[in-house]
Amino acid sequence: MAKEYHTINQIAGPLVFVEKTEPIGFGELVQITLPDGSTKRGQVLDTSDEVVVVQVFEGTGGIDRASGVKFLGETVKMPVAKDMLGRILNGSGDPLDNGPPIIPEKRLEIIGAAINPWARDNPQEFIQTGISSIDGMNTLVRGQKLPIFSGAGLPHNDIALQIARQAKVLGGKEEFAVVFAAMGITSEEAQYFMKDFERTGALKRAVVFLNLADDPAIERLLTPRLALTTAEYLAFDLGMHVLVILTDITNYSEALRQIGAAREEVPARRGYPGYMYTDLASMYERAGRIKDKKGSITQFPILSMPGDDITHPIPDLTGYITEGQIVASRDLHRKGIFPPIAVERSLSRLMGQGIGPGRTREDHRAVSDQLYAGYAEGRDLRGLVAIVGKEALSDRDRKFLDFADAFEDRFVRQGKDEDRTIEQTLELGWELLSMLPLDSLTKIDRKFIEKYHPTVKKK
């Protein structure tokens, strides 16, 4: 039985300092018993001969100097089992539903070890989300981590849900699962997800972790790691294809900043700790595929950019780690376009590996490049039109302007339940490209134009 100490000498923010202990391991799990008999959990952040610093997940409210501190002799572990599918747990991994207790098949360290880069398999299986602006322009593949950069009031949850509903690998009939981790979102938002999961029957295949807005902030540091540990178990032990939705990374990062401040660390930018890149990477990098293993982890983190500022440290550091980003646009949203995906600012870096002959179609890359170029040119002209008027434009320019509008209106815009195949997406792309002068299609090989261009191809 672990010894109980009553030697707290300082409490500051989420941190408790305990003196005169036996040697305590770094990262060990801690249980604190309050005078009223309730308990809280924490983790060792710093350990020395003199003092042990404990970060308390549920917040330090109510802890006094006389509270008992027990070091449990092991680091934080997550009990996992296949039965977790269909269950709703809190941010610390305890059941919230009234279901039976989960009998663990394994207990896993929640600080997952890094996948050996040599053991990784190249992610290259195209996931069809049915959303043109993603499939056509920013293609997702299995094992990718692709965040949604959004802003307050934008429909990122709808985008995430539509992806979760429609995502499929063509020709595949493998086992899949969704792991959903909420960090500091409102219960209303959480309900929105849960309802959709229930409506579509996805809940049976999902494990849900809920740390809501009124749950302790520090627990948010735990929640995504519990979720990812579960996902790894489902993917690499049980061979499932797991989609992990983490929302909202911004709330997670705030909790990280809070710990840093409590430890009086020297901050990097805007008060966030200097190790935030590494810390975020320790979550995002837990996506991927492993050689000779069936399953995969695909991550969809959602974050709201404070002030819609993509250079804010949270989206910035995320963008540096993830394999691209889907950026939600307030402009498109205002125009009433759903999904309001700003394709020009979005990117999927693994696109190249997931598209082309045998995966999507041979002309995919060329079509997408040309759509980008045309859209960019049309958007530039909008600025000019505002000054000189549409009449001052050349004929060619006017075509580009119309193309950009049509692109937003027909290619980007689609229904919340509209599930387009990749062929439909590409055909739509060609149809739009045929609005442009033929000689401006410089990014497409002759042979593709001859084969696919609606007015050129031989009928």
Ligand X SMILES: Nc1ncnc2c1ncn2[C@@H]1O[C@H](COP(=O)(O)OP(=O)(O)OP(=O)(O)O)[C@@H](O)[C@H]1O
Residues 46-75 that bind other proteins (CB under 8 A): 46-49, 74-75
Token look-up 């996805």 returns 202
Of 226-245, binders to other proteins (CB under 8 A) are 236
Contact characters 277-296, other proteins, x per CB under 8 A = xx--xx--xx-x-xx-x---
Question: DSSP 3-state assignment of 34?
Answer: coil
- Which residue type sits at 264? E
Q: Which of 41, 87, 365, 420 binds other proteins (CB under 8 A)?
A: 365
Single-letter amino acid code for the residue at 435: M
Chain residues 340-359 in contact with other proteins, contact rule CB under 8 A: 344-345, 347, 349-350, 352-353
Angle between helices 364-388 and 422-433 (to 10 degrees): 40
Minimum separation from the CB atom of position 279 to other proteins (A): 10
Is 26 a binder of ligand X (CB under 6 A)? no
Rounded distance between C-alpha atoms, residue 114 and residue 131, angstroms = 32
Closer to other proteins by Cβ: residue 180 or 236: 236
The string of DSSP codes covering 310-331 is TTSHHHHHHHHHSSEEEEB-HH
409: number of Cβ within 10 Å = 13
User: Among 94, 93, 37, 91, which Cα is nearest to 63's?
Assistant: 37
**CA angle, 359 as apex, 355 and 363 as ends, to 5°?**
55
Q: Beta-carbon neighbour count of residue 343 at 10 Å?
A: 25
Among residue numbers 295 through 314, which ones bind other proteins (CB under 8 A)? Answer: 311-313
**Range 82-111, binding ligand X (CB under 6 A):** none
Residue 154 exposed, middle or buried by CB count within 10 Å (0-12, 13-18, 19+)? buried
**94 CB-contact burial (10 Å; exposed 0-12 / middle 13-18 / buried 19+):** exposed
Binder of residue 373, out of other proteins, ligand X, none (CB less than 5 to 8 A by kind):
other proteins
Which positions from 295 through 334 interact with ligand X, judged by CB under 6 A?
319-320
Could you give the string, one character per residue 83-112, with x where binding to other proteins holds by CB under 8 A and - elsewhere? --------------------------x-xx
Binding mask 156-185 for other proteins (x = CB under 8 A): ------------------------------
Please report how close the Cβ of residue 450 comes to ligand X at its closest, in angstroms. Answer: 24
Q: Please, which residue, 155 or 319, has the CB nearer to ligand X?
A: 319
Residues 332-391 interacting with ligand X (rule: CB under 6 A)? 347, 349
Q: Looking at 36, 188, 417, 439, which residue binds other proteins (CB under 8 A)?
A: 439
Task: List the single partner that 254 binds among other proteins, ligand X, none, CB under 5 to 8 Å by kind.
Answer: none
The residue with tokens 């036996």 is 22
- Six-digit token pair at 235? 């993917």
Task: Show the binding pattern over residues 377-406: x = contacts other proteins (CB under 8 A), - = does not.
Answer: x-----xx--xx---xxx--x---------
Question: What residue type is 421 in one-letter code?
Answer: T
Residues near ligand X, by CB under 6 A? 319-320, 347, 349
